[in-house]
Structure 1
Amino acid sequence: MRVIIQRVTSSQVTIDGAVQSSSPSRVIAGSIGRGLNLLVGIAETDTEAELEWMARKCLELRLFPSETSGFDQSVQEIGGELLVISQFTLYGDARKGRRPSFDKAATPVHAEQLYNQFVDKLRSSGLRVETGRFGANMQVAIANDGPVTLMLEKEAI
Structure 2
Amino acid sequence: MRAVIQRVRSASVTVDRRVIAEIGPGLLILVCAMQGDDDNAARKLAVRIPKLRIFGDDAGKMNRSLLDTGGSALVVSQFTLAADTSRGNRPGFSAAAPPRDGERLYQLFARELTAQGITVETGEFGADMAVALVNDGPVTIWMEN
Alignment-derived partner of residue 10 in structure 2: 10
Q: Partners of 1:95 and 1:44 in 2: how far apart? A: 18
Q: Which runs of 5+ in 1 are unaligned?
A: 17-25
Equivalent residue runs for 1:44-55 within 5 Å: 44-55=35-46
Query: Partner letter of residue 152 of structure 1?
Result: M
Alignment-derived partner of residue 21 in structure 1: none
The ranges of structure 1 where at least 4 consecutive aligned residues each deviate by more than 6 angstroms after the TM superposition are none
Tell me whether 1:129 sits opposite 2:120 in the alignment.
Answer: yes
C-alpha distance after superposition, 1:83-141 (max 9, x if no partner): 00000000011111221111110000010011110010011122210011000000000
The count of residues paired between Structure 1 and Structure 2 equals 145
Q: Partners of 1:36 and 1:134 in 2: how far apart? A: 18
| Identical residues among aligned pairs (%) | 43
Q: Which runs of 5+ in 2 are unaligned?
A: none
Query: Partner letter of residue 96 of structure 1?
Result: R
C-alpha distance after superposition, 1:16-70 (max 9, x if no partner): 1xxxxxxxxx111110000000000110111112112111111101010111241
Query: Partner letter of residue 138 of structure 1?
Result: M
Of 114, 125, 143, the residue aligned with 2:105 is: 114
Of 55, 69, 73, the residue aligned with 2:64 is: 73
Alignment-derived partner of residue 37 in structure 1: 28
Query: Partner letter of residue 123 of structure 1?
Result: T
CA RMSD of aligned residues (A): 0.8
Alignment-derived partner of residue 28 in structure 1: 19
Q: Which of these two proteins has the greater Rg computed from alpha carbons?
A: 1
